[in-house]
Structure 1
Amino acid sequence: MLESLARDRVIVAIDCGRDRAIELADELKGHARWLKVGMTLYYAEGPSIVREFKERGFKVFLDLKFYDIPHQVRGAARSAALAGADLMSVHGMGSGAMLAACREGAEEAAEVTGSRPQLVAITVLTSMSQDSLTEIGIDSPIPVEADRLARLARENGIDGVVCSPQEAGAMRSVVGEDGLVVTPGVRPAGAALGDQTRVATPSSAFKAGSSHIVVGRPITGAENPVDAYEAIIAELCAMDD
């Protein structure tokens, strides 16, 4: 994989307080191109943190996993898009009407900003096992449930999906060649799994069909985050060797 392409496809998850988030952003500036803002950081700082990252030249994946009645999701998507997010997430389980409303909200924001953020639907969280699904009343195997939600998302205007690397290949056939397949649960060889259960290494995730990978603690918790990030880029660049 070419180096520039690798940098465009690795998203660093920044799940911490503002001071550490800005510190990490400044360290990674010039290396990483994408940062992910999740609930922990966004709920503490609001839209301003997205703008601060954008001002530093980053693309931002705003991972709030919208899940509510369609009216609320439409408004939330519009507000989040106006903050400057380049990519946003919505729960696939929220119904076709909710997914369509998310797309509508993003399009309304585009009338102001000039561009619409891309949207990805959560299929099955990478922290969940088959037992976790059964616990909430879903008896389908994880791959079957992920496929069902991915198809629902695509039918309602969502650009792609979030899934574990284990479902990435199957998801690629659902979303098509140009659809997004964003995979959290990526861990370099030897890294701690944390609360993830369905994981893969960076190179294996891309070989399986991912368009983007999300890596958090293996980078942000490393003694030298830049070195940890660059090691992943080196792994990806060596894929075709």
Structure 2
Amino acid sequence: MDARDRLILGLDVPTVGEAEALIRTLGETVSFYKIGYQLAFVGGLELAHDLVRDGKSVFLDMKLLDIDNTVAHGVENVAKMGVNMLTLHAYPKAMRAAVAAAKGSDLCLLGVTVLTSMDAADLVDAGYDTDPRSLVLKRAEQARDAGMGGIVCSAEESSAVRSVIGPDMALVTPGIRPAGSDAGDQKRVVTPGDAIRNGSSHLVVGRPIVKASDPLAAAKSILDEMALALSA
């Protein structure tokens, strides 16, 4: 994969119209798009079908978690959409049900470990008696053993996670911020180049491109940084 295959643009905008305008602006520079809750509930799933039809890659960031039967049926229907990636929270039973449901399809299932907006204090508030890194590594191991296609984690942990999951699983890292940019509500952020060097296979970038005065130039700059890291 080259840098273009590894950059996932987060369509974190309030309307499908704004998403479509951004997609037109980025043209052939970006080929992989993430659709999450914000857009999914206002027509984003229909947009996903359109993107697949147009030859784009699509990552549905739905973070599924429910009883096994419900997760399995959801995954079965997502697989029929022809999208490339789907997230679910990295709970062992849910992951095993999802893997069984996706068998025979090309859908890459991603286990979400610890959200990049959470730090150690947030985990304590949520009732966990561990630190983010330890929990990420535990869930990465469980995802590997369940047969998942990949992991979502902060690029701060990607090198350690890569040593757990091996070379073949996808390692998708949000919370990517070019040097000097605002971290926003993210607490564990990494630059695009460092994320690649740490072992990330795909980088999810939203606000640094979406909110830029020139989104196309911002995307090209990030791709250049990724390409430089890949060639090192």
- Name the TM-score class by shorter chain: over 0.9
Quick check: 1:179 aligned with 2:169?
yes
1: CA distance between counterparts of 2:193 and 2:97?
Answer: 35
Displacement of 1:52 after TM fit?
Answer: 1.3
**Are the aligned partners of 1:29 and 1:56 in contact in 2 as well (CA < 8 Å)?**
no
**Are the aligned partners of 1:183 and 1:205 in contact in 2 as well (CA < 8 Å)?**
yes
**2:222 aligned residue (224, 229, 232):** 232
Q: What TM-score does the superposition give when structure 2 sets the normalisation length?
A: 0.95
Displacement of 1:238 after TM fit?
Answer: 2.5
Match runs of 1:83-232 below 5 Å: 83-92=81-90, 94=91, 96-107=92-103, 110=104, 115-232=105-222
Any unmatched runs of 5+ in structure 2? Answer: none
Displacement of 1:46 after TM fit?
Answer: 5.1
**Are the aligned partners of 2:16 and 2:44 in contact in 1 as well (CA < 8 Å)?**
no
Letter in 2 for 1:103: V
3-state DSSP of counterpart to 2:106 = coil
Deviations 1:32-70 (A, max 9, x none): 111001111112215311111122321001110011111
1: CA distance between counterparts of 2:88 and 2:147?
Answer: 12
Deviations 1:93-138 (A, max 9, x none): x3x221111112222xx5xxxx421111000000001000000111
1: CA distance between counterparts of 2:93 and 2:132?
Answer: 23
Q: What TM-score does the superposition give when structure 1 sets the normalisation length?
A: 0.92
Identity %: 37
**1:6 counterpart residue number:** 3
Q: How many residues align?
A: 230
Any unmatched runs of 5+ in structure 1? Answer: none
3-state DSSP of counterpart to 2:9 = strand
Decide which moves more: 46-55 or 15-24: 46-55
3-state DSSP of counterpart to 1:165 = coil
**Are the aligned partners of 1:183 and 1:214 in contact in 2 as well (CA < 8 Å)?**
yes
Kindly report structure 1 stretches of 4+ aligned residues shifted beyond 6 Å.
none
Q: Provide the alpha-carbon RMSD of the alignment.
A: 1.3
**Are the aligned partners of 1:48 and 1:83 in contact in 2 as well (CA < 8 Å)?**
no
3-state DSSP of counterpart to 2:172 = strand
3-state DSSP of counterpart to 1:187 = coil
Displacement of 1:223 after TM fit?
Answer: 1.3
Letter in 2 for 1:53: L
